[in-house]
Amino acid sequence: MREIGTEELRYLARGAAILGAGGGGDPYIGRLVAERAVLEHGPVRVAEPHELPDDALVAGVGMIGAPTVMIEKLPAGDEALTAFRMLQRELGRTITHVLPIEVGGMNSLAPFPVAAALGLPVLDADCMGRAFPMVQMVVCTLDGVLAKPLAIADEKGNSIVLDVRDNHWAERLARSAAVRMGCTALLSTFPMSGKQARDITIPGTLTLAARLGRLVEQARREHADPCAAVADFLGGQVLFTGKVVDVLRSADPGFASGEARLEGFAAHDGTSCRLAFQNEHLVAYRDGAVVASVPDLICVLEAGGEPVPTERLRYGQRVTVVGAPCHPRWRTPEGLALVGPSAFGYSHEYVPLGPR
Amino acid sequence: MREIGTEELRYLARGAAILGAGGGGDPYIGRLVAERAVLEHGPVRVAEPHELPDDALVAGVGMIGAPTVMIEKLPAGDEALTAFRMLQRELGRTITHVLPIEVGGMNSLAPFPVAAALGLPVLDADCMGRAFPMVQMVVCTLDGVLAKPLAIADEKGNSIVLDVRDNHWAERLARSAAVRMGCTALLSTFPMSGKQARDITIPGTLTLAARLGRLVEQARREHADPCAAVADFLGGQVLFTGKVVDVLRSADPGFASGEARLEGFAAHDGTSCRLAFQNEHLVAYRDGAVVASVPDLICVLEAGGEPVPTERLRYGQRVTVVGAPCHPRWRTPEGLALVGPSAFGYSHEYVPLGPR
């Protein structure tokens, strides 16, 4: 079983933040928390879903809330472990594998402090293949795996266990709890058997993220364009290159919601771009027309290929917007019903994105 | 050990709604839920706190949320039992006595479905000696007994267990959960030993409420003034008699908050009265001056002595406002800090109320 140490965590954090499509938390904070755990307890083993025995007990870990707050109200570091232990206590069985619920700069790394402290392997998989803003937006919902029980912990010593009727209620009740806890908290949920995790989760996304993180470094070394390299690697395209000229943030305490406006440098980019986001980028408009939309990935990168999470967007940044196809599961009718434009209140038709 | 059957429930509901000071839930709904349980399982035994063995395990039960909603979104009836069982499971021990957390038309009766279904006695006591709107506003907070764990259940099948750092956090997190659950829910918390319950709770308040409920009936039979009889019985005074000419309800989803304006019939009543409420009546102003204030009881009664909860206040009602002294515990400096005017954002000085 391969291991992830501090060096690979750097690549993983960067790559996961790119795949997080603007969301999934800050890669720097995610890396610091994971690094501390690995330095204290040693490297973390990574298990592939196909290796899972049927009777393994897998549970997910992740952050919930507004990443805009997380970059100011830092996590204490042990919230995920607290939530995980509460979930285990509720289940009355020992959890054998820790699963990142989504891919993201913070959320791909959130399992590491838990796995390191308890000596458990992290599963090389997740439940989205990217990041989405809400609890129910996971392949688990499509396959009938419930966020039940769901444990949440904050940095102040409060913790909660929810026992909800469905994953939409998990979102409602976990969100309001997270808002009250100060707009961010860590949760643990989606307990599933080894067989379920094998059948349901999206495999290989930790490895994919780490490869993507390395690729950026390599492109830089080779004086290639890291943003174009990312677009190629993901089978997507560069949608826009320009400067952030406005960022509007809404007052919704549960999410990092808002819009960013960009102006182009070059004529072939079109003259303007608008990004609507709710933790993750939801829609990219070029000169007023939709050019990419959830569930496809819209990723904002600095020229050097470093991902810019939506909470870090600010006036004057020079960025490249990359669009990339989502996991095929999200392009099915039931996938689109759960995470497509209409799930976010948009009326536009989803047009699958591919290479240019 | 004496028992309470359906007949006494009627008196208890009325008397508890009077002592609830406008809050504590609707006595009619409270009675219906308790009656159904008693008709199904038989009368409920009542234990006096002084009879409690040291090693008894007592836990409280009550409603949380906006009573304005509870009179439209009726409880399913088994929420309190669900919450109680979850609390018991968390504690890992069998609870022996059910305690009303507060006195109120709904909340004095909320323990009955639990006690009837499980064959447990209800404790003739509560944690306020009246009703207050928030979780931390209990004598338990003064004596270091925590709302921990705290279990909440709604009528939709959702339930939550909170493990909080203090009773103020219990209020914050339970309130936001209750709001998300549809503005009302039932909770169970304040687990304590028999010794703690003996030392801490306010004894005899079920019996007091039932006596008060009977007294109203007796005054009517004797063609006496039931409102004056209530004021005398409680050692208080009639503050105002008049007609409701305006009710302003705020949009706060967690509480029944607002103000009522009354105009007097007779010159000696003063010409106008204003009542500020948050579930319970907080302050009574007569001609602009404070004449009664939390933590003292402000009770609104119809001419026949039936209590009018704040959620039932409406234009045109002819009512009598009675003020009565609160439990002496609330008149201490620490009691006033927790439930006095300043705890609700008022700057007026608390002046203890007695007979006129």
CATH number assigned to the domain comprising residue A178: 3.40.1610.10
Task: Give domain status of residue B216, yes or no.
Answer: no
Range of the domain at B107: 3-203
pLDDT(B269) > 60: no
Q: What is the mean pLDDT of residues B315-330?
A: 97
Task: Give domain status of residue A101, yes or no.
Answer: yes
Specify whether B253 is located in the same domain as B317: yes
Lowest mean pLDDT among A254-268, B77-91, B314-328: A254-268
Question: How close A166 gets to chain B, by Cα (Å)?
Answer: 9
% of chain B residues with pLDDT over 70 = 99
* Closest CB from B159, B162, B176 relative to A179: B176
Task: Give domain status of residue B152, yes or no.
Answer: yes
For residue B162, list chain A residues with Cβ-Cβ distance below 8 A.
Answer: 158-160
Specify whether A187 is located in the same domain as A237: no
* Interface mutation target, options B150, B158, B169, B183, chain A, most CBs of A under 10 Å: B158
Cα gap B221→B241, rounded to integer Å: 21
A:B CB pairs within 8 Å? 55
Specify whether B65 is located in the same domain as B153: yes
Q: What is the mean pLDDT of residues B6-19?
A: 96
For residue B180, list chain A residues with Cβ-Cβ distance below 8 A.
Answer: 172-173, 176
Contact B160 A165 (CB under 8 A): no
Assigned token pair, B289: 């001056």
Direct distance between the N- and C-terminal alpha carbons of chain A, in angstroms, rounded to an integer: 38
Quote the mean pLDDT of chain B.
95
* A112-171: pLDDT as tens digits: 999 999 999 999 999 999 999 999 999 999 999 999 999 999 999 999 999 999 999 999
Question: Which regions in chain A score pLDDT beneath 70?
Answer: 266-270
Specify whether A27 is located in the same domain as A133: yes
Q: Is the distance from CB of A247 to CB of A313 less than 8 angstroms? A: yes
| Residue A269, pLDDT score | 55
Specify whether B51 is located in the same domain as B194: yes
| Residue B253, pLDDT score | 86
Handedness of CA A321, A324, A329, A331 (dihedral sign): positive
Name the β-bridge partners of A273: A262, A286
Specify whether A160 is located in the same domain as A231: no
Q: What is the mean pLDDT of residues B259-274?
A: 83
Here the CATH number for the domain that contains residue B323 is 2.40.390.10
Cα gap B332→A340, rounded to integer Å: 58
* A171-199: pLDDT as tens digits: 999 999 999 999 999 999 999 999 999 99
Task: Give domain status of residue B145, yes or no.
Answer: yes
Task: Give domain status of residue A337, yes or no.
Answer: yes
For residue A165, list chain B residues with Cβ-Cβ distance below 8 A.
Answer: 156-158
Specify whether A179 is located in the same domain as A235: no
Specify whether B32 is located in the same domain as B127: yes
pLDDT(B265) > 90: no
* B146-200: pLDDT as tens digits: 999 999 999 999 999 999 999 999 999 999 999 999 999 999 999 999 999 999 9
Single out the residue of B128, B148, B147 nearest to residue B137, CA to CA.
Answer: B128
Specify whether B197 is located in the same domain as B233: no
Specify whether B152 is located in the same domain as B250: no
Handedness of CA B136, B138, B140, B142 (dihedral sign): positive
For residue A92, list chain B residues with Cβ-Cβ distance below 8 A.
Answer: none
Contact A164 B177 (CB under 8 A): no
For residue B157, list chain A residues with Cβ-Cβ distance below 8 A.
Answer: 165
Query: ipTM more than 0.95?
Result: no
pLDDT(B267) > 80: no
Q: Write the Ramachandran bin of B13: left for phi over 0, alpha for psi from -120 to 50, otherwise beta.
A: alpha
Task: Give domain status of residue B351, yes or no.
Answer: no
B58 touches chain A (CB under 8 A): no
Specify whether A229 is located in the same domain as A183: no
Task: Give domain status of residue A322, yes or no.
Answer: yes
B309 contact partners, CB below 8 Å, separation of at least 6:
B17, B20, B22, B23, B24, B25, B26, B27, B67, B105
Give B297-308 as a DSSP string. Answer: EEEEEETTS-B-
Task: Give domain status of residue A270, yes or no.
Answer: yes
| Residue A70, pLDDT score | 87
3-class DSSP state for residue B40? helix
Residues 152-211, chain A, touching B (beta carbon < 8 A) = 156-165, 169, 172-173, 176-177, 179-181
Number of domains chain B contains? 2
Residue B77 pLDDT class (50, 70, 90 cuts): confident
pTM for the structure as a whole: 0.90
Residue of chain B whose Cα is closest to the Cα of A149 = B160
* Closest CB from A156, A165, A181 relative to B158: A165
Specify whether A97 is located in the same domain as A150: yes
| Residue B20, pLDDT score | 97
